[in-house]
């Protein structure tokens, strides 16, 4: 229920941050201005005793987010990939949220597996280890199949995780309502739509059957991608709360020392992880939307292994082309074209001035070029981008939220591997290739072929469509002055002919 009782949840959030010492750490890491520090501490300090104590053995921020619940942990996972925003020390502390959270007992996990799959664990697995990784929603056990002896990973949802997430999301909705009420200007960001999008993503992550299907589709899309692999799904040992897949052996993407010891080229890995993400997003429109270090390994042969497919992103072809043109415009420093694309896609209201918007984009893009990643303050860049969007009345595009969020995460992963990497130089060949294939003459021909195929599907219905149109015309009142009946018949005949041609071509092409 999204009622005022959620005030308690929000108060407890601030109180927990203060009680655990996380409030000061976060404000220091974000280099918050003095007025914000004063207001935040004045609000939280008197009620800190209402906060959750958490595990005193954990660092302050990790302790607070873990105590607050899975939705807050998800937020911490994103921040763990942004040392440029929160600092190296805090990013390292938050990294334990990716796969090193406290686990629930193996006995509970065994019961969950048996209840979900309807068979005794010992009948399916000859070995089932203690938890090897634990995150906000589920934990993973290493197992060995009794029939074949193959090693697999068994993922099991945390008990009652659905209820915990619904509580957090309920409070987030209430917070969005409060923000919209107190700050009308924030409504252009559609806080409720953003929370609704987050809710849909999370609820999908709580059904491991959907995750299995996503992994299967992702594997099919990427099977020919060099240097990348996806573990196979064992469908007969998977269900809503349990998922079994091939075991992925390798060094954690977040362990630079282990990667160096194994002889892996970290700058090459950094470029590859970013380029793979862009390829999946632009080429396939279906991408791994939770690509933090805890969900990536590097195999002995150098392949990047992705797992944990609970959050996947999907964007349609039109949106992909818009996104690619925007990136390509920044790469080419064609800010006028970037501005035009924003207007053509409806991202910026039509009454705004395109030239003025282009100049604002130039102020965002120019500081990036010729500077390595360590010389760019992503926090300052994002702050200025927000000012630009607010100034020009841009509204939040919910279909791009996951793409934008994942881009931030993947860039953070890449920069943790190679602090000197320039995102634009690495992205350029992928974006240029997509532009060539999707916006050039070949793409126009492909669009026409698909249009003809769609028209062809109406072929069997051509007689009914023509008859219905004629009957409607004959029964309608006398027409107002305008096109003559003969012209209507000509238009109708032309439309029927077009559909007929489309049908024939569709049959031929199909």
Max mean pLDDT range (105-119, 352-366, 423-437):
105-119
Q: Is the pLDDT assigned to residue 17 strictly greater than 60? A: yes
pLDDT in tens, 191-226: 777 677 667 767 777 889 999 999 999 999 999 999
Average pLDDT for residues 184-190, to the nearest whole number? Answer: 61
Q: What is the SS3 assignment for 121?
A: helix
Strand 304-306 relative to strand 228-229, pairing: parallel
CA dist 392 and 394 (Å) reads 6
Q: What is the SS3 assignment for 95?
A: coil
Per-residue confidence band for 288, with pLDDT thresholds at 50, 70 and 90: very high
Q: Is the pLDDT assigned to residue 505 strictly greater than 80? A: no
Q: Is the pLDDT assigned to residue 348 strictly greater than 50? A: yes
pLDDT: which is higher, 444 or 228: 228
- Residue 290 among the catalytic residues: yes
Above pLDDT 90, what percent of the chain?
A: 27
pLDDT in tens, 73-112: 777 766 665 565 566 677 777 776 766 677 889 999 999 9
Average pLDDT for residues 35-54, to the nearest whole number? Answer: 75
pLDDT in tens, 122-139: 999 999 999 998 877 889
Q: What is the per-residue pLDDT for 509?
A: 46
Domain ranges of the chain: 6-98, 102-135+137-247, 249-439, 443-509
Q: What is the SS3 assignment for 352?
A: coil
pLDDT: which is higher, 386 or 298: 298
Within 8 A by CB and 6+ apart from 258, the residues are 251, 252
Strand order in the sheet with 304-306: 228-229, 304-306, 296-298, 251-252
pLDDT: which is higher, 305 or 370: 305
Q: Is-contact 239 157, C-beta < 8 A?
A: no
Catalytic, out of 290, 353, 372, 418: 290
Q: What are the b/e assignments for 197-206, b being 16+ CB within 10 Å?
A: bbbebbeebb
pLDDT in tens, 293-323: 888 999 999 999 998 898 888 888 888 888 7
Q: Is the pLDDT assigned to residue 510 strictly greater than 50? A: no
Q: What are phi and psi for residue 46, nearest 5 degrees? A: -65, -25
Q: Is the pLDDT assigned to residue 377 strictly greater than 60? A: no
Half-sphere exposure in the Cβ direction for 461 (13 Å, CA): 8
pLDDT: which is higher, 140 or 395: 140
Average pLDDT for residues 498-503, to the nearest whole number? Answer: 48
Q: What is the per-residue pLDDT for 503?
A: 47
Q: What is the per-residue pLDDT for 496?
A: 47
CA dist 284 and 294 (Å) reads 24
Average pLDDT for residues 350-368, to the nearest whole number? Answer: 85
pLDDT: which is higher, 462 or 500: 462
pLDDT in tens, 434-481: 877 776 666 666 666 666 666 666 666 667 776 777 777 666 665 555
Q: What is the per-residue pLDDT for 136?
A: 77
Q: Is-contact 250 295, C-beta < 8 A?
A: no
Average pLDDT for residues 213-241, to the nearest whole number? Answer: 94
Q: What is the mean pLDDT of the chain?
A: 78
């Amino acid at each position: 229920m999204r009622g005022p009782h959620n005030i308690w949840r929000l108060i407890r959030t601030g109180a927990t941050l203060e009680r655990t010492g996380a409030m000061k750490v976060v404000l220091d890491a974000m280099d918050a201005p003095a007025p914000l520090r004063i207001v935040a501490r004045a609000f939280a300090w008197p009620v800190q005793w209402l906060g959750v104590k958490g595990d005193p053995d954990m660092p302050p921020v990790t302790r607070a987010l873990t105590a607050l619940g899975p939705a807050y942990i998800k937020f911490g996972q994103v921040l763990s990939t942004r040392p440029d925003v929160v600092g190296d020390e805090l990013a390292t502390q938050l990294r334990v949220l990716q796969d090193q959270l406290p686990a629930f007992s193996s006995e509970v996990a065994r019961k969950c597996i048996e209840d979900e799959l309807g068979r005794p664990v010992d009948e399916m697995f000859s070995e089932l280890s203690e938890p090897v990784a634990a995150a906000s929603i589920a934990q993973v056990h290493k197992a060995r199949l009794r029939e074949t002896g193959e090693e697999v990973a068994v993922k099991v949802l945390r008990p009652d995780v659905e209820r915990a997430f619904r509580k957090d999301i309920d409070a987030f909705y209430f917070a969005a309502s409060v923000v919209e009420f107190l700050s009308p200007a924030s409504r252009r960001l559609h806080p409720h739509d953003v929370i609704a999008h987050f809710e849909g993503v999370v609820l999908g992550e709580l059904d491991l059957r959907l995750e299995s299907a996503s992994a299967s589709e992702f594997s099919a899309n990427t099977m020919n991608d060099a240097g990348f692999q996806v573990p196979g799904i064992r469908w007969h040992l998977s269900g809503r709360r349990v998922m079994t897949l091939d075991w992925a052996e390798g060094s954690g993407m977040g362990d630079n020392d282990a990667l160096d010891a194994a002889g892996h080229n970290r700058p090459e890995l950094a470029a590859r992880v970013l380029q793979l993400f862009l390829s999946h997003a632009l080429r396939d429109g279906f991408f791994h939307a939770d690509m933090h270090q805890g969900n990536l390994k590097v195999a002995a042969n150098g392949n990047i292994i992705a797992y944990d497919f609970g959050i996947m992103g999907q964007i349609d072809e039109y949106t992909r082309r818009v996104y690619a043109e925007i990136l390509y415009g920044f790469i080419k420093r064609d800010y006028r074209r970037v501005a035009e694309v924003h207007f053509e896609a409806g991202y910026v209201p039509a009454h705004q001035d395109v030239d003025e918007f282009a100049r604002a984009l130039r102020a965002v893009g120019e500081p990036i070029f010729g500077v390595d990643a360590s010389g760019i303050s992503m926090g300052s860049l994002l702050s200025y981008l927000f000012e630009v969007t607010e100034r020009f009345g841009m509204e939040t595009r919910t279909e791009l939220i996951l793409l934008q969020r994942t881009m931030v995460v993947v860039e953070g992963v890449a920069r943790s591997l190679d602090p000197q990497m320039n995102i634009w130089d690495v992205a350029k060949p992928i974006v240029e290739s997509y532009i060539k294939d999707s916006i050039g003459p070949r793409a126009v021909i492909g669009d026409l072929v698909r249009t003809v195929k769609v028209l062809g599907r109406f072929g069997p219905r051509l007689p009914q469509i023509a008859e219905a149109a004629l009957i409607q015309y004959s029964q309608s009142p006398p027409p107002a002055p305008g096109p003559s009946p003969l012209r209507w018949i000509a238009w109708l005949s032309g439309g029927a002919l077009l559909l007929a041609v489309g049908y024939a071509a569709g049959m031929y092409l199909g």
